[in-house]
Amino acid sequence: MKSEIYNALASLNRSLDAALESLEVLQEQGVITAQFGSDHSIRLNKMWADMNYMIVHKRSSFELEDRDHYGKMLETIDKRLGCEPTVHLEPPNLPQGN
């Protein structure tokens, strides 16, 4: 399921990138005006950014839950085996969005 979500997000991003490139080609070929192309590129970029933000924000909570869950399981395994605790990667302090 996780890979399907990330594959869908990647596909969506590739498609939106292709749409922006198509607008540029249509503008360069004179099919649409520069103003029309610019206006709609800005709209599309804003929508793209909004969608990515929402999807990544929602996914991050699931990823944190998985990280905590599997981290606890790994600690249990390390204790049972009597070995040194596994090194956990700490996520970077990322800036918070609006």
Q: pLDDT tens for residues 19-31?
A: 999 999 999 999 9
pLDDT at 61 over 90: no
- The tokens describing 3, both together, are 């890979």
Question: What token pair was written down for 53?
Answer: 């933000």
**What is the token pair recorded at 80?**
């049972």
- Gap between the Cα atoms of 57 and 49, Å rounded: 12
Tokens of 79: 């204790």
Min mean pLDDT across 12-16, 17-21, 56-60 is at 56-60
pLDDT bucket at 47, cuts 50 / 70 / 90: very high
For the residues 35-39, what does the mean pLDDT come to?
A: 97
Cα 78 from Cα 86, distance rounded (Å): 7
